[in-house]
Structure 1
Amino acid sequence: MPYHNVQDPERLQSLISAMMLIESDAELDILLKHLVRSACDLVGARYGALGVLDASGQRIAEFITFGVDDAQRQAIGDLPVGRGLLGEVIHAGTSIRVDVMPTETLSALPPNHPPMHNFLGSPVRTADGFVFGNLYLTNKLEGQFTEEDEGLIETLGRAAGLVIDQANQRTRIRGLTLVEERERMARDLHDTVIQRLFAVGLSLHAALTKSLPDDVSVQINEALDDLDDTVRRIRTTIFEITQGPTADRPSLRSQVLRTIDELPSAAGLHIDVMFDGPLDSAVGSQSCEQIITSLRELLSNVVRHAQADRAIVHLALTDGRLEMRVEDNGSGMTTATTSGNGLTNLSTRAESLGGDFAVTLGSKGGTVATWRARNLAI
């Protein structure tokens, strides 16, 4: 029975009041408790519960009750998972009203469960038709549950579904805002702090090429070691920031930093990293995996063949196209750096993402490996 066929103005007012009660900015768990109580008040039920379904939509993951206290809940024991009459409502996906409880249903109740005389169950659907859970009401205080009761509860359930959508959306927005703030902090640390330290390090490194007293050279080398250690610590901090509890997977930036930190210290290779563009938001998980695998191969080539002590890793995303460049100050292009299965694999991975791979001689010696990709959404 649709709610607009309800003739009693007091019942319509009660429905409006119940809808207004759950229309608030409260947290979802508070909203759900309001919903169960409002449903009981609306149709005069002694007991009520909301069974929130799990991802499968077939089992109860959370059971929120009204009409029983904590001691009674503990005495009842384990919460239901969705069998019996409760399961019938789940599988039917529509309201079910029972005037007299079947004997088999009563006999299946836990020993300390309150007696049940009649029953009304109705789904709570979100705006997209997804069944969030089901309202279960029992022991109407006066008489039996009516068709009018059923219509009122169905209407309340639809209204509650919209409110639940809004609450979930607020949670998603808060989570997104938190992730964005973490990424902003990580970018600031990298793009401002690390790059300034990088510039200082280059200046000190350039000073070492000049004729300096031994004690000054020692001090400069110590300062460079301190800078390297500081950069490593900041990279660790960036990684921790971008691994917040709302992240579904590690960001591309954090995976790049972790990959570099995994290189053995015995390699004696100092690596500086630069990022440009929305790398964390525009690159899909499969593409990210290909990028990291390729980066490991490129760095491995530098360690094994380049005879370098410094390298620069630069990832830039512009107009949906990614360019990853690894440049070292080593011995330049040799047969080892321009042939082999490793380079073939790098080309294959790039081509699988609509890109290419090339190795060239650096303008000041060393080798520049450039890996590009464009199909990054996957």
Structure 2
Amino acid sequence: MTEEGPGAADGPPSSKPPRLPMLLEAVLSVGTDLGLRATLQQIVDTATALAGARYGALGVLDPERNTITELFTSGLTDTERQRIRGFPDGHAGLLGVLVEEPEPLRCDDLTADPRSSGEPPGHPRMRSFLGAPIRVHREVFGNIYLAEKHTGHFTDTDMALLRVLASQAGSAIGNARLHETAQQRERWIEGAAAVTTALLSGTGATDALMTVAEQARMLADAAAGVILQPTEDGGMEIVTASTLDDPAGLVGTVIEAGAPVLVQLLGGEPVFLNDSATDPRMTTHVRTRFGPSMMLPLQSGGRLIGTLALPRRRGGRPYTAVERLLASQFASQAALALVMADAQYNREQLAVYEDRDRIARDLHDLVVQRLFATEMMLESTRRRAAAPDTDELLTRAVDELDSTIQEVRTAIFALQQPPAEAPATFRGRVLRETRGAAAVLGFQPSVQFTGAVDSLVRQPADAQLLAALRGALAAAHRRTGVSAIEVEVDATARLPDGRASVRLAVADDGRNDDGSRSTTFTWQAPL
């Protein structure tokens, strides 16, 4: 039976309110919220109520794979949602027919229709069905599905109403998508600007990579933000990971050379994965933790710095074409910022080194030479002096000058060391320990080296001496009234049996708990 107008087969006019005003109200209400997800939920709720259906759903289609990526439902209770093991992907049944042939579709009995594929486990029983596509600028955005008409089956009027609502929904979705895209673009631009500002403020290399990974993770709503860098053997290793979950097992993970995904990554091409856990291009053990993922090259001026990976959780929402574009643009901007930050850091380090070299040259050429000349003059005067007290004073003056010369030479050596790098020499490690203690003590301990400590002191003596030095500095800090500490490392010392050894002496001017003057701490080990 066909209908001649609204309500013709829906019962007497007095039995239910006319649906034309309801339709007009629905058309006016749809799209009042510019948020896309809120708009989609509003559309399915409105269609379900307008058609008098018990259940409704709106499936969002992926234009590349022509599958349902998101499903907004109406009429399902929380218990019913939990019982459904998995929502359909649009490949089978009447939903698949509607995806393949985007035209309105009606069925009075799903159980008798040969095109139906049945209901998923836990799904509520349904018989009547009505569906219609939603088009946005000639593109099929998704489909509206209605089921279980209260009066038994859907009518031509229901189909006509659904057509009108789907058409209006297309316009509302188009506006909402434009609004959401604009907001997304604004967030990504602000995020890229924040990364650039942070990197150019002088953060270290490790902090810079973490800044990029963390900002990208938040912008992409990803489960993790990961930075990979090329290895010497042609693979890629995760060097930085930002995640809300436990990052254990991520940092240090290596994509071995020859892995299929590396062909694109090392070539500077982005890689987009629908499911990291099942994609054959992925070979690492951590892939089972993630689902949809983007792997974006960090390159600038033909230089590949690394790869930014943004995986989502298993079963997570796939990345849209807009998200992929914005993330790729962010990666390009971040790579440029990393290069600029690295160049700025190198310029600053060069300026520091040049300044240190200048100070070291001044100390060596002027101060040390003058002190040495003064020491020679005092030594000559001491030999000529006849009075015992004069001889003692001059001897003390010579010793003080010799100690001062040693201190200045130590300062020259310290100025020549890279400030941010871990020292490679034994002398440098001793100075690092005393500089670290200075932050706690409030003053810099005096350090003097005797002998070729860098070439003579080896393992295990070097590690033992550094441990003893830490303990002695900590003990000095605990004493009262300490205002000066003298550290001496002598690589020319001898043990009682005559063997060569290294000797550590740490003396301070503080007092012990019993009020006595502190004694010099000594430690000695064979070389």
Q: Deviations over 1:326-378 (max 9, x none)?
A: xxxxxxxxxxxxxxxxxxxxxxxxxxxxxxxxxxxxxxxxxxxxxxxxxxxxx
> Does structure 1 residue 173 correspond to structure 2 residue 173?
no
Q: Could you tell me which of 79, 90, 95 is aligned with 2:87?
A: 79
> Does structure 1 residue 254 correspond to structure 2 residue 262?
no
Q: Deviations over 1:266-314 (max 9, x none)?
A: xx7569xxxxxxxxxxxxxxxxxxxxxxxxxxxxxxxxxxxxxxxxxxx
Structure-1 residue corresponding to 2:161: 152
* CA distance in structure 1 between the aligned counterparts of 2:193 and 2:342, rounded to whole angstroms: 24
Residue 251 of structure 1: how far off its partner (Å)? 5.7
> Does structure 1 residue 162 correspond to structure 2 residue 242?
no
SS in structure 1 at match of 2:169: helix
Residue 105 of structure 1: how far off its partner (Å)? 5.9
SS in structure 1 at match of 2:87: coil
Residue 85 of structure 1: how far off its partner (Å)? 0.8
SS in structure 1 at match of 2:94: helix
Residue 55 of structure 1: how far off its partner (Å)? 3.3
1:106/1:116 contact within 8 Å kept: no
Tell me which protein shows more helix as a share of its residues. 1
- Relative distance call for 1:254 and 1:67 in structure 2 (3 A) is closer
1:7-22 aligned at under 5 Å gives the runs: 10-22=18-30
SS in structure 1 at match of 2:329: coil
Amino acid of the residue matched to residue 151 of structure 2? E
Residue 95 of structure 1: how far off its partner (Å)? 0.5
1:120/1:136 contact within 8 Å kept: yes
Structure-2 residue corresponding to 1:24: 32
> Does structure 1 residue 48 correspond to structure 2 residue 128?
no
1:239/1:258 contact within 8 Å kept: no
Q: Could you tell me which of 114, 130, 138 is aligned with 2:124?
A: 114
Amino acid of the residue matched to residue 77 of structure 1? R
Residue 100 of structure 1: how far off its partner (Å)? 2.6
SS in structure 1 at match of 2:134: strand
SS in structure 2 at match of 1:123: strand
1:51/1:61 contact within 8 Å kept: yes
1:1-378 aligned at under 5 Å gives the runs: 6=6, 10-56=18-64, 58-82=66-90, 83-101=92-110, 102=112, 104=114, 108-126=118-136, 128-182=137-191, 231-232=202-203, 236=208, 240=212, 245=220, 247-250=327-330, 254-259=334-339
Residue 165 of structure 1: how far off its partner (Å)? 1.3
Residue 136 of structure 1: how far off its partner (Å)? 0.8
- Relative distance call for 1:72 and 1:105 in structure 2 (3 A) is farther
Q: Percent identical across equivalent pairs?
A: 30
Number of paired residues?
229
- Relative distance call for 1:174 and 1:106 in structure 2 (3 A) is closer
Q: TM-score, normalised by structure 1?
A: 0.51
Residue 148 of structure 1: how far off its partner (Å)? 1.8
SS in structure 2 at match of 1:133: strand
* CA distance in structure 1 between the aligned counterparts of 2:210 and 2:71, rounded to whole angstroms: 40
- Relative distance call for 1:252 and 1:108 in structure 2 (3 A) is closer
Structure-2 residue corresponding to 1:318: none
* CA distance in structure 2 between the aligned counterparts of 1:135 and 1:16, rounded to whole angstroms: 19
2:134/2:140 contact within 8 Å kept: yes
Residue 14 of structure 1: how far off its partner (Å)? 1.1
SS in structure 2 at match of 1:124: strand
1:120/1:138 contact within 8 Å kept: yes
SS in structure 1 at match of 2:120: coil
2:34/2:175 contact within 8 Å kept: no
Any runs of at least 4 consecutive aligned residues in structure 1 with deviations exceeding 4 A, and if so which? 4-9, 103-107, 182-190, 232-235, 241-244, 260-265, 268-271
2:128/2:148 contact within 8 Å kept: yes
SS in structure 2 at match of 1:53: strand
Q: Deviations over 1:229-255 (max 9, x none)?
A: x64559949974985545333465532
Amino acid of the residue matched to residue 59 of structure 2? G
2:85/2:121 contact within 8 Å kept: no
Structure 2: give runs of 5+ residues left out of the alignment: 9-16, 221-325, 353-527
* CA distance in structure 2 between the aligned counterparts of 1:180 and 1:172, rounded to whole angstroms: 12
1:61/1:81 contact within 8 Å kept: yes
Q: TM-score, normalised by structure 2?
A: 0.38
Amino acid of the residue matched to residue 148 of structure 1? T
- Relative distance call for 1:187 and 1:65 in structure 2 (3 A) is closer
- Relative distance call for 1:68 and 1:112 in structure 2 (3 A) is same
Q: Over alpha carbons, which structure has the higher Rg?
A: 2
2:57/2:73 contact within 8 Å kept: yes
- Relative distance call for 1:106 and 1:89 in structure 2 (3 A) is closer
Structure-2 residue corresponding to 1:324: none
Amino acid of the residue matched to residue 53 of structure 1? L
More RCO (CA 8 Å, sep 6+): 1
Structure-2 residue corresponding to 1:206: none
Structure-2 residue corresponding to 1:325: none
* CA distance in structure 2 between the aligned counterparts of 1:180 and 1:256, rounded to whole angstroms: 14
Structure-2 residue corresponding to 1:201: none
Amino acid of the residue matched to residue 43 of structure 1? A
- Relative distance call for 1:24 and 1:270 in structure 2 (3 A) is farther
1:239/1:257 contact within 8 Å kept: no
Q: Deviations over 1:45-80 (max 9, x none)?
A: 111111111232521111222122111122121111
SS in structure 1 at match of 2:58: strand
* CA distance in structure 1 between the aligned counterparts of 2:68 and 2:149, rounded to whole angstroms: 23
Q: Deviations over 1:69-128 (max 9, x none)?
A: 1111221211111111111111111111112322556672134322222211100111x1
1:118/1:145 contact within 8 Å kept: yes
State the superposition RMSD in angstroms. 3.8
